[in-house]
Amino acid sequence: MNPDMKYDCGKPFGWIKKVGWKGGEAKWPHAYQAIRNFKIDNAEMGKLIVDVDLNGREVDAVVADWVKDNEARWKAWLQ
Residues 6+ apart with CB under 8 A from 69: none
Whether the Cβ atoms of residue 10 and residue 3 lie closer than 8 Å to each other: no
The pTM assigned to this predicted structure is 0.64
pLDDT at residue 71, rounded to an integer: 95
The whole-angstrom separation of Cα 64 and Cα 74 is: 12
What tens digit of pLDDT does each residue of 42-63 get? 999 999 999 999 999 999 999 9
CA–CA gap between residue 41 and residue 1 (Å, rounded): 15
The burial class, CB within 10 Å (0-12 / 13-18 / 19+), for 49 is buried
Q: Which pLDDT does position 9 carry in this prediction?
A: 65
Confirm if 7 and 13 have CB atoms less than 8 A apart.
yes
